[in-house]
Amino acid sequence: MQLKTSLLGYPRIGEKREWKKALEAHWTGNLSSEDLHAEMKHIRLNHLKKQQDAGIEIIPVGDFTYYDHILDATAMFGLVPERFEYDGGSVSLETYFSMARGNKDVPASEMTKWYNTNYHYIVPEIGNKAPALSENYLLAAYKEAKEELGIEGKPVIIGPYSFLKLAKHYKNDAFPELLSQLTDVYVQLFQELADEGVQWVQVDEPSLVTTIPEEDLPLILKTYETLQNEVPQLNVLLQTYFEAVSHYEKVIELPVAGIGLDFVHDQGKNLHALQTHGFPKDKVLGAGVIDGRNIWKAKLKDKLVLVKEIQKYVGDDKVWLQPSASLLHTPVTVENEPTLDETLKQALSFADEKMEELRTLQQLGIGESEANDKQLEDNEEIFAALKTKGWRKEEPDPTTSTDVGRSLSYEERRKKQLEKWPLPKLPTTTIGSFPQTRDVRRLRARLKKGELTHSEYQSAIQSHIKTWIDHQEEIGLDVLVHGEFERNDMVEYFGERLEGFAFTKNAWVQSYGSRGVKPPIIYGDVRFKEPMTVEETVYAQSLTDKPVKGMLTGPVTILNWSFERDDLPKQQVAFQIAEAIKEEVSALENAGIEMIQIDEPALREGLPLKREDWSSYLEWAVQAFRLSSSYVENTTQIHTHMCYSEFQDIIDAISALDADVISIETSRSQGDILETFEDNVYDKGIGLGVYDIHSPRVPSEEEMLHIIRRALSVLPADLFWVNPDCGLKTRNEEETVAALKKMVNAAQQARAEVTS
């Protein structure tokens, strides 16, 4: 049979978030380890059965995880940091979760963004450890799928080159030796798979789409030569995604049985390379033709043309039709969205629907379907219907190129702001949100069900705001926040109040660990309707003499954390959102709120994966932020926040935002960001997150004071702020108050040191 279907990975979170619920029940002590394993097996097999029933012929195994697939590889290679007191062998569940979440004694491993997505992975820490195979998780996953469901699975693992590129805590000159050591572990792992009869293994090398140093190419070649020479009976599919592969000619000649390429997010470069340089006749091409990251239905006529073009250069029996990436980045199924507008719903495709699209495309491609023309016509009618709804202008607005900025320089503004805000040195604040308790979530649910009037709901929200204003006063924070109790999600909340956004009931996507998000769907032109945050912020300010920050989400983050339109350039959608946020900033300022935080935690994750493409993205991303933030009085202080990013790469762009104060994460990275400021001068207000809010652990004052002291060794005390590394909505009240008290005490001690 020509044209096979294959997946790269399937969502873990579960159709009804079963995976999340099982994990959190275990963490709270309500589900034993034995019962957790049993529930996870049930979920895992259910996911495999869905792929089998959908007619997917090459099904991935080993993509399922208890937290994160990179953490799985780290544990499998025995690379457990010394602070977790691991003494070899299989990594226990307790140690595994401690690496991900920390425990009462030691902090978690660092967490950061997975390439240019909103998924977070746990960063491997190499240290002085040599990798060794602790347990072959892939072999267990393969055997389970075969024994339980008769599936001849395709084990999936991160490739050795990408694994080391994602890792930290080793010297650059050690990379070749570490890669060699790691390759030996892969040889052992692959040999065990081959001995069991595994036919194909998918080795993900997404780092091959980034800007690869020339000196790395011989190392990559040697790695795959070793794997081929040592385990020749195992077929390796070297899988890339998210962009066009770099060094196409060299990559396709690597000694592997197949190459996976992204033909959706490659900007046409992979197809051009295929047309220009051809493809080896003896290799399989994993053709990523269905979008694995966005949720719009494929235009089948266009996809069929693409497949036919690919077939000109690759034998029919050598093409696997695939999504462009793992379906980890999409919700599970559109079927669970009964309230969506029917025209919009028909145009959407989540993970389960994408499997159907692959099967349909396969049938069209091999002429198996008896209703080819009807399928194509029905598909075209879906997109024609979108045009009749009036959601999108016939002629989109031209992309603006006019730069905007504050009327005074930062130095001049700062003088005015110091007069207006007589804050102490090292002022303390938080990032915005406070614990979203069950009671708070229940309030929103009751409002939606009509069990509460809007007035009753607002009264209850105000009660929570007052409680936390009182807490902040008692703790001794210098700049307060209202706590965001009325908000479900930092993007969804704003999207619900702007034109052009649609929202789902159950379209959850994993962000990190058990945390899921429901990205809004930008389906039409974005427009401001009415003030969105003024009422709650003004109420909070009425309760205190200390400044209360207005809290907004920035245009680039709203764009990057949404499923965006695929009919407009991203920057044009960003400018539409920026214009709307500008209106909200003006509404806050007019209401007397003159400290306003516009968060952009996703600014860096939108960076193209090749450095040569960075400048154009950063230009419009910075421009969008300035468009939203620059039309204010010079005494109005603009804050922003970013988290879990490699800031050293974009320090100039961060400065170009021209925010008066930026807060950034540094706790999980153990102060690595400080090296950036040793080499670069940053001349605006800056707050480094001094403790990790994603871990339930409450750090000591000494730990936080250590980070503050390190920061003050490279940053001027006059510009330094002290804050947690992110919002506190996922923590409980007791640990939040305890941690903030210690943070304030640490700041006061540091304040005394710098003023003595």
Q: Which residue has the tokens 């943070």?
A: 743
pLDDT bin (cut points 50, 70, 90) of residue 282 is very high
* Position 393 in a domain: no
599 is in an annotated binding site: yes
**E strands within 281-369?**
284-290, 319-323
**Taking every pair of C-alpha atoms in the chain, what is the biggest distance, in angstroms?**
84
- Lowest-pLDDT range of 506-515, 671-680, 736-745: 671-680
17 is in an annotated binding site: yes
| Claim to verify: residue 364 and residue 435 sit in the same structural domain | no
pLDDT, greater one: 632 or 672: 632
| Claim to verify: residue 423 and residue 297 sit in the same structural domain | no
pLDDT bin (cut points 50, 70, 90) of residue 305 is very high
| Claim to verify: residue 348 and residue 473 sit in the same structural domain | no
| Claim to verify: residue 480 and residue 599 sit in the same structural domain | yes
**Encoding tokens for residue 273?**
């390379």
| Claim to verify: residue 355 and residue 435 sit in the same structural domain | no
Among 387, 403, 427, identify where a domain stops: 387
600 is in an annotated binding site: no
Catalytic residue numbers, as ranges:
694
Full domain range(s) for residue 225: 4-9+42-64+124-387
d(CA 322, CA 330): 14
Strand partners, 736: none
pLDDT exceeds 70 at position 175: yes
441 is in an annotated binding site: no
What is the pairing mode between strands 521-528 and 498-502?
antiparallel
431 is in an annotated binding site: yes
Mean pLDDT score, 152-158: 98
- List, for residues 508-519, the tens digit of each pLDDT value: 999 999 999 999
726 is in an annotated binding site: yes
3-state secondary structure of 601: coil
| Claim to verify: residue 454 and residue 500 sit in the same structural domain | yes
pLDDT exceeds 70 at position 724: yes
- Between the CA of residue 597 and those of 275, 279, 593, 661, what are the distances in Å? 48, 51, 11, 9
CATH code at position 334: 3.20.20.210
Mean pLDDT of the chain: 93
Cα Rg of the chain, angstroms? 26
3-state secondary structure of 691: coil
* Position 668 in a domain: yes
**How many residues does this entry show for the chain?**
756
482 is in an annotated binding site: no
* Position 394 in a domain: no
125 is in an annotated binding site: no
| Claim to verify: residue 512 and residue 640 sit in the same structural domain | yes
| Claim to verify: residue 609 and residue 668 sit in the same structural domain | yes
The number of folded domains in the chain is 2
pLDDT bin (cut points 50, 70, 90) of residue 51 is very high
* Position 199 in a domain: yes
- Between the CA of residue 332 and those of 38, 152, 236, 521, what are the distances in Å? 22, 23, 28, 15
pLDDT exceeds 60 at position 369: no
Please report the pLDDT score of residue 728 as a whole number: 83
| Claim to verify: residue 302 and residue 442 sit in the same structural domain | no
| Claim to verify: residue 219 and residue 168 sit in the same structural domain | yes
59 is in an annotated binding site: no
DSSP 140-153: HHHHHHHHHH----
- List, for residues 676-704, the tens digit of each pLDDT value: 777 667 889 999 888 777 777 788 999 89
Please report the pLDDT score of residue 390 as a whole number: 87
| Claim to verify: residue 435 and residue 341 sit in the same structural domain | no
**Encoding tokens for residue 70?**
């990179």
- List, for residues 468-506, the tens digit of each pLDDT value: 999 999 999 999 999 999 998 889 899 999 999 999 999
* Position 26 in a domain: no
| Claim to verify: residue 514 and residue 558 sit in the same structural domain | yes
pTM over 0.95, yes/no: no
* Position 314 in a domain: yes
pLDDT exceeds 80 at position 646: no
- List, for residues 397-417, the tens digit of each pLDDT value: 655 556 789 999 999 999 999
* Position 491 in a domain: yes
- List, for residues 563-573, the tens digit of each pLDDT value: 999 889 999 99
Please report the pLDDT score of residue 610 as a whole number: 94
pLDDT bin (cut points 50, 70, 90) of residue 396 is low
484 is in an annotated binding site: yes
* Position 33 in a domain: no
